[in-house]
Structure 1
Amino acid sequence: MHNRFPLTLLLAGAFFLFCGRTARAQEIRANVTVIANQVQGVDRKVFTTLQTALKEFLNNRHWTDDAFTPAERIECNFLLNITGVAGENTYKASLTIQATRPVYNSGYVTSLLNTQDNNVLFRYAEFQPLEFNDNRVVGNDPLASNLTAVMAYYVNVILGLDYDSFSPRGGDAYFKKALNIVNNAPDGKDITGWKAFEGQRNRYWLQDNLLNVKFLNFHDVMYQYHRNGLDIMYDDAARGRAAIMNCLNLLYAIHQDIPNSMLMQTFYQAKADELQKIFSKAMPQEKSRAAELLAQMDIPNAQKYQQMK
């Protein structure tokens, strides 16, 4: 049994904590949007059918061995923007992925992942089944399999981050599933994003960082930030903020060792606005220290943090 417990049961006593989930339901609730405004000469129904097929693929599949109640499902958004035609039934696209986690005792949800992948090439004919098998990621047609491999990869990253936020190092099993997809990914002409040499910001590097021992403290940050920080801020804002300040110190140690890593960039893409709001209400000394650390670690948002001082 996994140690990811529903927020509504966190304080409900030992019985619930040790019995865990009893109902069986899918793990994610994915909203899927396919847009193809840049594509001409293709029947629009193809993209409507693809949108429905992707939604069913993501929402109807069991991605873990744990039982999730409907209320526990992870809220996600997948936006597939088809940017061009690369051959018969073959498309180039970008994929924007967002996932959130509710914060205990509040109506607030925090962003776990907010990223864009610009290297999605796939083949899809209308009503073609979307298939994925962990044991044979490449499938019979690499171009057709690439779409489901990319989707499955990001689902596992989302699951890993979510589990990390509920229990210490809780997401490892899902980051390893993402590694398996990277290691066995579809290969072919113009299929990119899966290999180290193709750039410093791709699926390979995000998965590499998530399992690299140099980033071990990142997983402690995910737990402390959410469980010791956000989840207690409703009852004790100062204590929660102090826990998040400690997380910034842990992140800074990673930054000094490995500056400009993809994992840190991905974290701040999800958290920059939230961090600004959290520390805008801090005492002057704490606010100034947070702004200083964040501006060094997250250069694209440095000006935003400087305004907190």
Structure 2
Amino acid sequence: MLRKFLALLPLFAVLLAGPVRAQELLAEVQVTTQNVTITDPTLVTQMQNEIRNLLNTTAWTSQAYQPGERIKLRVFIGITAIPQPGTYNATMRLISTRPVYGTGYETNVISLTDRSFNFNYSPQNPIAFSQNSFTSNLASLLGYYAYLVIGIDRDTFGRLGGTPYYELARNIVNYSANQTLTNEPDEGWRGTGSRERHFLLDNLTDPQLEAFRTGLYNYYRLGMDVFIEKPEEARASVMTALSGIQKAVITRPGALLTRAFFDAKADEIANIFRTSPDASQKQQLVAMLTEVDPGNSAKYQTVLQ
């Protein structure tokens, strides 16, 4: 697999890759309306198709992906208000998945939620993304999350492999926070208001939370990818990963990054350890996760049953 091979490349090779470009994402997009009325229902369909096409046809990196290697992504956008014609308030949730090596199983990697954003949209003006300059708030938002999803995916294949893509996301944050091109002020870029975007990227690039990102590598590449052949070694690697994530939780309680991880992984973690023959390992796991992720403690308790 290309992404398995990329895990062996130094980070500078990702930035200095050759001219071959291909699409990295395979996104499904659903746009819905919540307590708002849109007189022309085809507008929502066109918006949905444009968002999907932007995500799936943009070459976000310089790496060539085979069709089966593209990162699967589900995007749910809910329009919550229409302050004026052509202007929309919305929420968004993204869930990315990753194949597990040697199996047909696909695992959720991260679940991200943007609780509030606004954007302008007109069917007469296609959504256009630029890596280096602001074009619209919706384009910036899609580009920002595309790079986060790619970066997190790379972190699962190589230690800190996502760093170059977080830097590209940072560039989008900077030019979007300072844009004066359109009337789309969005406090999410400035670290105020809903703050998810700003804080999430800060979490991913904070050296004090590096244990979370190295934990992703231990969880996926050294854990899930070898589970079918070496289940006990895989569980040990997952425990190492979770210990790193525990350190991140202790360092930064309530960090959006760790919340997004457990939102995606709680059920899977319970399933991994439910069949473990090691009773002490189960006890250690449940004690650790009940402390760092109390909201899912009932799921973790099933490991002991």
Instruction: Give the TM-score normalised by the residue count of structure 1.
Output: 0.88
Give runs of ≥4 in structure 1 deviating > 6 Å.
20-23
- The letter of the residue matching 1:216 is E
Q: 1:41 to 1:6 in 2, by over 3 A?
A: closer
Cα contact 1:24–1:69 (8 A) shared by 2:
no
Cα contact 1:21–1:68 (8 A) shared by 2:
no
2:174 corresponds to: 183
- The letter of the residue matching 1:269 is D
Q: 1:87 to 1:295 in 2, by over 3 A?
A: same
| Cα distance in 2 for residues equivalent to 1:191 and 1:253 | 32
1:116 corresponds to: 113
Cα contact 1:33–1:51 (8 A) shared by 2:
yes
1:293 to 288, 297, 305: 288
Aligned ranges 1:53-132 → 2 under 5 Å: 53-132=50-129
1:226 aligns with 2:220: yes
1:214, distance to aligned residue in structure 2 (A): 0.6
**Equivalenced residues, count:** 289
Cα contact 1:22–1:67 (8 A) shared by 2:
no
1:136, distance to aligned residue in structure 2 (A): 1.0
Q: Deviations over 1:62-82 (max 9, x none)?
A: 000111111111111111111
1:33 aligns with 2:2: no
1:194, distance to aligned residue in structure 2 (A): 1.7
Cα contact 1:49–1:127 (8 A) shared by 2:
no
Unaligned runs of 5+ in 2: 7-16
1:254 corresponds to: 248
| Cα distance in 2 for residues equivalent to 1:63 and 1:30 | 13
Cα contact 1:117–1:202 (8 A) shared by 2:
yes
1:275, distance to aligned residue in structure 2 (A): 0.7
| Cα distance in 2 for residues equivalent to 1:42 and 1:75 | 32
1:41, distance to aligned residue in structure 2 (A): 4.4
Q: Deviations over 1:210-259 (max 9, x none)?
A: 00111111121111111110000000111100100111121222222222
Cα contact 1:82–1:91 (8 A) shared by 2:
yes
Q: 1:23 to 1:41 in 2, by over 3 A?
A: closer
Fraction of identical pairs, as percent: 32
User: Which SS does the other structure have where 2:60 is aligned?
Assistant: coil
1:160 corresponds to: 151
User: Which SS does the other structure have where 1:193 is aligned?
Assistant: helix
Q: Deviations over 1:27-71 (max 9, x none)?
A: 111111111253214311111111111111111110001111111
The Cα RMSD (Å) is 2.1
Aligned ranges 1:4-23 → 2 under 5 Å: 5-6=2-3
User: Which SS does the other structure have where 2:75 is aligned?
Assistant: strand
